[in-house]
Structure 1
């Protein structure tokens, strides 16, 4: 006999948890500025300004970690506010363009400026952690695909600081669920934004609004309930 497995709820972050994450990163950033960068290289959350941009990029774009690491300077258009996601970093092996919200633009501009100061060109990877912690004289020699270890270390430390699990995938699930719970949601728009091949995948992020459903039932079934 086949037993149908119950669909697990997506692991998302609440608004309160997101605020907690941003507050902690801001605190590290302020400490970093006061210490003028002294002794911060041993901390996985340093440089805090860089990780703040990483977190904001993940939570505002819905891109996966592998797509973030494959992002090159040429893939970001600050004037027209879009980002090209390449096929190499895509789970579905195709590329598409996503919009960049205004809140993300200043951070992305700062990151690109810092990358260029350190000798990066259009073809270089934008989110290469070692470029931003290396000495200015060594930064131009930072090449190759960014390593996963600094990202893993960052999220491990951030999870410890927050007291709840934080991961790139949770930001992905959170954005998907937020878009699909919006009253004015557009299924095709969300499907395109997240890079899903099938609508059924996008629909997995639909969760029933119990209170809203109850209101509809009360209204639509009012005549029937009056019978009893």
Structure 2
């Protein structure tokens, strides 16, 4: 039996599972936090369950420690480290035979998903339209530049609920305006699956404008479609990354006074579809690319008025 270091264990696990760069970064971040607590000289085989419990006590949020991490964050750490240890034990890379991360998760409070309100979305649209008109009339850059591009991006999140990583992997050749569909590649998918998405009527003008601009800029079919760097002199990167999208939403949040993010648009879409009288769980599951229908069911919220009517119709005693 070997006794590898945390870094060697992480390297072996990433190679064996053929992890994507983003997944490697996530695992590495969790391992780095744990090593910081243990001390960088510690080896995986030295870790006991009690040490894991002590780490949990030291970092999880409590009334006395409001700056600690949430229960969901802790459970996320546990999932990653438990997988690493299971791999190490199975392949005899760690000099121990029991996973110290078994049964150390905690119950996390069930809270509604953070979404957006229709008024907030309308206001965000007005803000972007003001920026677009300013740039068009004065030929100057607004705070959000180029506004027309970011309009297209925001509307794509609004109408499709697409995940950020999926959007960043859309290529110019993935969009078929004639059939009004676009392809989401398996590369950017959380579920590692390719799919075809419709382009709703409200999104079509924005998608068409983006495709025309891409064509005029000399895009090739394999070029990243949502790439602000190709449409703006302010941005200098080769491809658009997560940081640039997050920076846009940070600026939009500052201008609107509301927290805006791709995931909140995704939650808004899921809630809207499941609150509709014509709701179809399986169609919603397909649109949101959920592998487990239980995830889709989380968007069903109790109808308070229906509950009130049920209680009011009880026979008096």
Same fold by TM-score, threshold 0.5 exceeded? yes
2:306 is equivalent to residue 195 of structure 1: no
- Residue 188 of structure 1 and its aligned partner are, at CA, apart by 0.6
Q: 1:5 to 1:104 in 2, by over 3 A?
A: same
Counterpart check, 1:32 vs 2:128: no
For 1:5, the equivalent position in structure 2 comes to 108
Is 1:166 aligned with 2:269?
no
Q: What residue in structure 2 maps to residue 18 of structure 1? A: 121
Residues in 1 aligned to 2:311 and 2:154: alpha-carbon distance in whole angstroms: 40
* 1:128-159 CA-partner distances (Å, limit 9, x unpaired): 11001149xxxxxx996422232122111111
Residue equivalent to 2:242? 148
Local SS of the residue matching 1:98: strand
**How many residue pairs end up in the alignment?**
213
TM-score normalised according to structure 1 size? 0.87
- Alpha-carbon contact 2:181-2:196 (below 8 Å) kept: yes
Task: Please give the root-mean-square deviation of Cα atoms over the aligned residues, in Å.
Answer: 2.1
Larger relative CO (CA 8 A, sep 6+): 1 or 2? 1
- 1:4 is displaced (CA, Å) by 3.7
1:58 aligns with 2:166: no
Q: Which residue of 1 aligns with 2:198?
A: 99
TM-score (norm 2): 0.63
Residue 215 of structure 1: how far off its partner (Å): 2.7
- Give how far 1:192 is off: 0.7
- What are the ranges of 5 or more consecutive residues in structure 1 without an aligned counterpart? 136-141
Equivalent residue for 2:315, pick from 221, 225, 228: 225
Gaps in structure 2 of 5+ consecutive residues: 1-104
Distance (whole Å) between structure 2 residues aligned to residue 174 and residue 58 of structure 1: 10
Runs of 4+ in 1 over 6 A off after TM superposition: none
